[in-house]
Each structure stands twice: as structure tokens, then as C-alpha cells.
């Protein structure tokens, strides 16, 4: 990445599970706390999800807004949340919820890096074994995200 879109404070690990809506809300809240989006971004994520699922396979969902809601994005950032108890994402099992906000077209590069990282099942298993949010942050950052 040309610049940091992820900081240690934007990475969390939960031992339990969450609903899809709870997971999207947490992803949006982290992005808002980072100053990357307005409070309307959660609604934007929900609009996207109603149109097309943001489930990507390999236990990953990448909730994000729609093109029509770009005005709710203030800066590019990521949130990474691991739910060890899982999230039912429209019938698909999700462990990792990566919230994304991309200013301009930056989301395309960010999405590409995330897709590469999560396309490797061994990498996903390594991410699942991280003992702390700090370790998970280091692993994701080392992958160029």
C-alpha cells in the first residue's frame, strides 16, 4: 500500500459469534472512529448488502458502501475483525469481516491486496491462529495491506 490504511486499533478479535448486522456495524464503527467515514456509512454498507452479498469465500466478508454513498467516505481505511465463533453471512460461514472505505478509486487496490491474502488457505489458517489483535495486525500488514 502506498500509505497505511490499517492501524493496530482497527483490528479486533472476538471469541464469540455475531450476526451479520452486528459484524457490519462493528466494521463501520471502527472506520468511523478512525475518521475514515461518517456515521451514515453503516447504512451504506447495508444498502450494498441488500444488492449483492459481500461474502468473498474462504471465511471472508468485505462489507463496504455503494458508489452512490461515496460521499460518506472521508479517507481510505480498513477494519479487520475476527469472530472465532463465526458469523452467518447469508448462509455462508465467515470468520473475518474486513470493513473497507476507499477514497476515490483506492478501494480497488485495497480490495486486491485483501483478495490476494485471503485466497491462500494456509494464510487464512495463520490469521486464525493469531493470539492477539496486535499479532493479527502484524500478519495482515506484512501481507502488504
CB under 8 Å to 143, separation ≥6 — which residues?
Answer: 113, 116, 117, 123
On whether the CB atoms of residues 124 and 56 are closer than 8 A, the answer is: no
Q: Pick the catalytic residue from 14, 64, 71, 107.
A: 64
Does 64 qualify as catalytic in the annotation? yes
Please give the Cα distance from 58 to 93 (Å, whole number): 9
Q: 81 has which bridge partners?
A: 12, 97
Catalytic site residues? Answer: 64
Amino acid at each position: 500500500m502506498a500509505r497505511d490504511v490499517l492501524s493496530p486499533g482497527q483490528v479486533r478479535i472476538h471469541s464469540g459469534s455475531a450476526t451479520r448486522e452486528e459484524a457490519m456495524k462493528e466494521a463501520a464503527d471502527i472506520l468511523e472512529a478512525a475518521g475514515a467515514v461518517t456515521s451514515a456509512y453503516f447504512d451504506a454498507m447495508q444498502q450494498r448488502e441488500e444488492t449483492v452479498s459481500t461474502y468473498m469465500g474462504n471465511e471472508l466478508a468485505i462489507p463496504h458502501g455503494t458508489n452512490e454513498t461515496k460521499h460518506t467516505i472521508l479517507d481510505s481505511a480498513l477494519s479487520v475483525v475476527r469472530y472465532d465463533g463465526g458469523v452467518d453471512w447469508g448462509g455462508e460461514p465467515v470468520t473475518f469481516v474486513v470493513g473497507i472505505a476507499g477514497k476515490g478509486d483506492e478501494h480497488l487496490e485495497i480490495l486486491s491486496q485483501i483478495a490476494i491474502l485471503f485466497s491462500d488457505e494456509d494464510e487464512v489458517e495463520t490469521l486464525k491462529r493469531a493470539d492477539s489483535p496486535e499479532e493479527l495486525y502484524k500478519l495482515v500488514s506484512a501481507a502488504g495491506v
